[in-house]
Amino acid sequence: MDPRSERIHNAASFVKEILDEKGLAPTVGIVLGSGLGRLVDDIKDPVTIPYKTIPGFPVSTAIGHKGNFIVGELAGKTVIAMQGRLHYYEGYDMDTVTLPIRVMKVIGIEYLFVSNAAGGVNTSFSIGDLMVITDHINQIPNPLIGPNLDEFGPRFPDMTRPYDHRLIALADEVAAELGIQLRKGVYLACTGPTYETPHEYKYMRIVGADAVGMSTTPEVIVARHADIPVFGVSVITDVAHEDEDSDYVTDGEEIVRQADAAATRMIALFKGIISRI
């Protein structure tokens, strides 16, 4: 067996054994970004599985990422939520960064919801906006480089619709009912861990990005490789500053605080969509 596949299945077997004992079979996977972990407070009868207890699993070291799987009921569905994701900038290879997505696939998820805290590149965006991701530009190494894992998907997966149109339409319905304003746009992922320079922001706007961050696209690519429909939201936690002489400084702690402030609307949106799928 491919060592990567063995690692995935060993981790999935460990998690599934715990869930089988509890009679839980998650159909929805959720990845929670920086400062957005409060969604787990709405999960009923939660079962917590720390990453550090799972064989072959890494731990999350980023600010605002606790490093647990949380499993339980949300909006009438059984979900498995990642309370903290893994990033390339932490020093993990791409197989490790995307390991949780493949583990969730083996466990049986049918949908993946992803969230992140992002910088607003689009000049019409404001701090606290929710941006539904309609497409992305990936500048992190592609997680499918290397021998293909045929059991998960094809060598050359189609990425014409990385974010599911039906789920986006449901988001529009839910947002209209709840009075939540949604932005829509393209998410650009770069490696980090540095924040963007003024001219990098200008470049990103020129190539068509509306928001920028350091995550998400590897998880989405692996999910689409495995034919899992994806819905994604960026919480705009800071906005582009292109004046090199200004005294503005991008602050990671402030980004987490802004994400937490917007989390209530994102949680309501996710719950509304999940209740309808």
Q: What is the mean pLDDT of residues 184-213?
A: 96
Give tens-digit pLDDT for 48-74: 999 999 999 987 766 555 789 999 999
Region of residue 199 (left: phi > 0; alpha: psi -120 to 50; beta: else): alpha
Q: Residues 6 or more apart from 116 whose CB is under 8 A from it?
A: 33, 34, 36, 187, 213, 215, 216, 232, 233, 234, 235
Q: pLDDT value at position 250?
A: 63
How, if at all, do strands 230-239 and 111-120 pair?
parallel
Distance CA 15, CA 153 (A): 22
Distance CA 8, CA 149 (A): 11
Give tens-digit pLDDT for 200-254: 999 999 999 999 999 999 999 999 999 999 999 999 988 876 665 566 666 667 7
Distance CA 126, CA 211 (A): 11
Q: What is the mean pLDDT of residues 109-117?
A: 96
Give tens-digit pLDDT for 2-56: 999 999 999 999 999 999 999 999 999 999 987 778 899 999 999 999 999 999 9
Nearest in space to 10 (alpha carbons), one of 68, 69, 80, 57: 57
Q: pLDDT value at position 246?
A: 62
How many C-beta atoms surround the C-beta of residue 127 within 10 A? 16
